[in-house]
Amino acid sequence: MNSRTRPPQKSAVRTNTGLSTASTDTASSDSFLRPNQPTRSSSRNSAVSDNSELIALSPLTANQDSGFLVAHAPPRQGSTHSGVSTLGNSSFNSQARLLDPNASAQSAKVNLGSNDSSAVFGVTPDQIHDMIDPKSPEKLSAFGGIRGIISRLRSNETTGLSDKEHLHAGGWESQVASSTATEFRHTEPVTFKVTDDVGVVVEHLVISTETTVKVPTPSIHSTKGETEYFAERIRFFGDNSLPEPTSRSLWDFAKEALKDRTLIILLIAAFAEIAIGIYKTVFAEEKDPYGFIDGLAIVIAVVVIVLISSVNDYRKQAQFHKLSSFSSSLSRVQVTRSGETIQIKTAELLVGDILHIQAGDVLPADGLVVQAFNISTDESAMTGEAVTLTKDTETDPFLFSGTKVVNGVGKMVVIATGRNSMNGRLMAALDAEEPEPTPLQGKLGKLADLIAKFGTVIAVGMLVALGILYAIFHRNDGKGAVKIANDIINLFIIAITLVVVAVPEGLPLAVTISLAHATLKMLKDNNLVRHLKACETMGNATTICSDKTGTLTQNKMTVVVGVLACRPFGAENLSNNSHEEVVLIDLLTKRSSDKAIKSTAVSSSLSEAFSNLPTAVLNHIALSINVNSTAEEVATDAAEKAAAVAAQTESIGKKSSKEQDGKRATEFIGSKTEVALLEFTNKLGRSYQQDRQNSQVLEVIPFSSDRKRMSTIIKIPENQHDAALERYLSLAHADSTASETKWLFCKGAAELVVKLCDRYVDGEGKVMPLSDAVRPEFEATIETMASCALRTICVAFKAVESCPQTVSNAAEADVDAPSDDANLILACVVGIKDPIRPEVPAAVADCMRAGVVVRMVTGDNMTTARSIAKNAGILSSGDAIGEYTVMDGPTFRKLSPEMMDTVLPQLRVLARSSPLDKQILVNNLKRLGETVAVTGDGTNDAPALKSADVGFSMGIAGTEMAKEASDIILLDDNFASLTKAIIWGRSVYDSVRKFLQFQLTVNIVAVVVTVVSSSLTAIFSEDKIPLSVLNAVQLLWVNLIMDTFAALALATDPPTPELLNRPPARKSDPLINYDMWKMVLGQAVFQILVCLGLYCGKVSWVDGGMDVLLGNTYTDSYLKMGTLVFNTFVFCQLFNEVNCRVIGKDLNIFNNISKNPLFAVIVSGSVVVQVVIVQFGGIVFHTVSLDAMDWLLCIGVSFLTIPLGAVIRLLPDYFRRD
């Protein structure tokens, strides 16, 4: 809300010797600068530094030839009245001192063309920081108060920054006279440095004159992609980009991966083996040229594992940073520039901007209050103290970035942005925060720890047992200590490798990969995930508590029907498709001389409907709407607007201008209800801008969920009065004269505001008593409008003699001040249509199919809420509505805990609810074991958003406080997008379980085959050396396949609509269900039998059969057998990876496989690498080349995992318990 004041009247007199300017304020006697302050002379000896006090000069004198200018600042009008705080009476604007005109006139120069920014701006970022940290009213006063700071920043409290700043400073209006000189006409105060003849700074000047002077045009170049208009300002004060927390480098992630104790032990053993291998190669009697290969291969494998792990973590960090940057780019603010209210990105905010603020905002920069209507802030983010502080121009004008506006509306001048702001300096000192593990990551972490402990016990037991067997059966063949040491190290390496394989490090990685993939994909579905846990939790949500406006509806509100001064209008706008609309049409069109609501015709033309209504009456009713509103029409860049629409589906409160090819477009922003009302008065031919300019706002009582209405008290200048206003005053029994009367305008929920009215404006413009005989007519109209799914708003007014008392000026307020809760005059009742989004009924049906209960929580009355719920599909039109299906907020919040347990299972619609009701609903649903998702857009919704398992805020209509409290931001405010979040959440949950099912199978098979084969060779081999058929390098390759590659393949499967065909998982459900255990154990048993069968069986194409096992190790026959086992084991995993794409009894394991190209790439790449390893990696992996029959055996046996999976899915569930 803006307080409009007339600018001071000025006069300029030209003299022969220069310019003499006097300034007179005809609107207020309260002077911005006090002329009776002591004077002080200006000279070289009294030179002041950059942090000197703001100096105001007595009447300006200037020598046109020399370019010397001196001036004084004019008085300015201001007010502080009943919660309204402006600059005129501020104590921070009365501290400036006068400069001796005699000294200044001869020695001062204004440095207009200097390239030194300190000569252009009268204050530095460091000086500003010293003033606000800590808060220093004294330093603020030394700068000339708030207005002094504004002048030093070359801004203006009314018009803001100028988009022609590259041509002039502050309030200088310019016309380019030539390529080298610019002609300036000065209209507002501006501060410059003043120097004497030798360039010594002597004072800072406030120049205020209406004259023309030519000065060189400064050369300012564009920086950082910004337009050249503000390049110098950005260079000096910086932009509004906050420092990003320090990101971790790829090397940092690599070092962290290398801290794994298991890998460290494995590397130590590998280096020991390398040392022994080098000894055997160089010094041993029997040279072994490849003795060091095994150890080197292990080192290389560990390096590859660390590198891939580090790259994955680094990419994950980059993806989450991308999401964070996108979230920041969504924020928009309103500022005044060149006298025009515009909307810009938060990152484009500049020092000197006049920023519009309101309840729910998180301040994007530091500033000083310029105008305040009951503003209070929460500075706990800075101070740690959860105390609400009142802000105004009198006592505490300091506002800090990162703090929250809890109440009120107003404006502030931005004094520090980005890295120079309080929040920026704080963030610069912080390191990047590690995200907290999600619930699923926590579960998998515990499971991984349990498996790791189990694997470690087995590895240690195997090491001890094989060591004992080696000591018992080993024959000393005379090869000495080196051979024994090498055997022991090999045994140690196998045990450590077994631990590496057994530890399912890929489980948390799978969650991270799946979440990173899902959150980026969800962005395309208009879901911006702020907290990762919300993504997975949403998949198992059991109930959604949804707002109505903008979420279920289109948030495109239009006044379609109503009664204005007892003149009905708009019946033809109803579709006449329902019984309720037919009743409303009949009610509006019936005529009766003894009824209050009457009309000769219901016309589509507003001009016809109100043709007989006095213009003054119609204008006064429009005034009551236009002034009592926070919505505004702002200018936006047309190209940027188009891009925003493309990115976000819908724009805020659209009202496009008719400029198709122009640079500017306009739109209404603010409450959609208020936007609809402003557009309605526009159709009545009334300009809201003109009404606000002609009115002085004295008090604003913002809309609240408790009051369900908004009120504004204004004073109309005497020259705006007419006969109609005089008549209203007399009928309102006002004792004061017209020039002294104040008006209170009120709008809000119709059925509530009507109860506060005792008079109404009739069809002839007369104010009549609202008797008991007339009141039911209005109430019936409101009820019928509501039954047509229309939001009903009542507009009323009355004359008051004084403003209500407030905390800020209670001592000065008039006693017995009337309140706004009684004796109102009813002006009009309107029905506002907000159509249901076309996709909402289908989305609600999808939720019900998925076992998710949808509840609507709205501030509308019960009749409107019930009608909209039926249209949205939340309530079935044909079904009878139960006793507790629809309930209002006041009744709901009074329920006892026992009654609450009875009501909640039936409750579907909560009408006339407050944010507190929503929080009560969420908390009680959670108490009953529900997983609750809730939507919210207002500041007061923050507690409910925090309390819910998943909080959704609105990206378009939501306040910054609501967004900060939420887990996911709906970029298009659409309920259908929320349904997509359910699908993605279930996809993440299933992806992790798919990987878990796959990895458990690999772990079991690898451990069993390694232990059994090592034990057999230790007992039965000729030289009694324990040797696993799967050596360390092979196991590390398997570990790479099953950890990183499988996680990437299985965790990136796209979601399918079929995910909604099942109910959500309960919180008590185990992570590994019966179907998963059945698949894991079935596949593990099959693979173990195949691998050990190949290892122990007498196979014709392996020379020697069992003799291979009992003969010398690493013979050609043994290597071939080992290669068969290794190759078959790997291909079993690759086929099982395909098999694990499906969890449950679905037999189509190839469903949507073409939609995940990454899966095909990873599996195909693994096959290629495996072929290369087998055919060409003999030295490193201890393999031999296989012929066609060998490959046929390996692939044929491995492929059996696919049909086996189908058989396992079809097995009866004899032992199912879940």
Q: Catalytic residue numbers? A: 547
Q: Which residues, in sequence order, are bridge partners of residue 1086?
A: none
**Cβ-contact 100, 41 below 8 angstroms:** yes
> 927: part of which helix (H) or strand (E)?
helix 915-927
In this structure, what token pair is assigned to residue 576?
């006449």
With CA atoms as reference, report the closest residue to 423 among 405, 399, 406, 407.
Answer: 399
In this structure, what token pair is assigned to residue 442?
């926590």
**Cβ-contact 502, 1007 below 8 angstroms:** yes
CA quadruple 95, 101, 107, 108: dihedral sign: positive
In this structure, what token pair is assigned to residue 490?
């090999």
Cis peptide before 1026 (omega within 30 of 0): no
* Distance from chain centroid for Cα 1073: 36
In this structure, what token pair is assigned to residue 438?
């999600």
DSSP 229-297: GGHHHHHHH--SPPPPPBPPPHHHHHHHHTT-HHHHHHHHHHHHHHHHHHHHHHTSSS--TTTTHHHHH
Count of beta carbons in the 10 Å neighbourhood of residue 144: 32
Compute the distance between CA of residue 804 and CA of residue 806 in angstroms, rounded to an integer.
Answer: 6
381 to each of 378, 404, 423, how far by Cα in Å?
8, 9, 9
HSE (CB half, 13 Å, CA atoms) of 553?
29
Q: Which amino acid belongs to residue 1213?
A: D
With CA atoms as reference, report the closest residue to 355 among 311, 289, 405, 308.
Answer: 405
Report the DSSP pairing between strands 950-954 and 968-970: parallel
Cα dihedral angle (890, 893, 896, 899), rounded to 10 degrees?
Answer: 80
Q: Which residues contact 635 (CB under 8 A, 6 or more apart)?
A: 340, 341, 342, 343, 664, 665, 666
Range list of H helices, 637-685: 638-648, 672-683
- What DSSP designation does 730 have? H
In this structure, what token pair is assigned to residue 743?
């008006």
Range list of H helices, 46-178: 101-107, 117-120, 125-132, 137-142, 145-152
- Angle, vertex CA 406, rays to CA 403 and CA 410, nearest 5: 90
Compute the distance between CA of residue 400 and CA of residue 366 in angstroms, rounded to an integer.
Answer: 4
Q: Which residues, in sequence order, are bridge partners of residue 369?
A: 412
**Cβ-contact 350, 417 below 8 angstroms:** yes
Residue 747 burial (C-beta neighbours within 10 Å; 0-12, 13-18, 19+): buried
The residue to which tokens 């306040």 are assigned:
959
Q: Which amino acid belongs to residue 614?
A: P
Compute the distance between CA of residue 559 and CA of residue 966 in angstroms, rounded to an integer.
Answer: 32
Q: Which amino acid belongs to residue 899?
A: M
Q: Which amino acid belongs to residue 817?
A: A
Compute the distance between CA of residue 177 and CA of residue 508 in angstroms, rounded to an integer.
Answer: 68
Count of beta carbons in the 10 Å neighbourhood of residue 727: 16
In this structure, what token pair is assigned to residue 799?
């004359």
Compute the distance between CA of residue 588 and CA of residue 586 in angstroms, rounded to an integer.
Answer: 6
Residue 1110: φ, ψ to 5°: -90, 0
With CA atoms as reference, report the closest residue to 371 among 741, 687, 5, 819.
Answer: 5
Report the DSSP pairing between strands 190-195 and 201-207: antiparallel
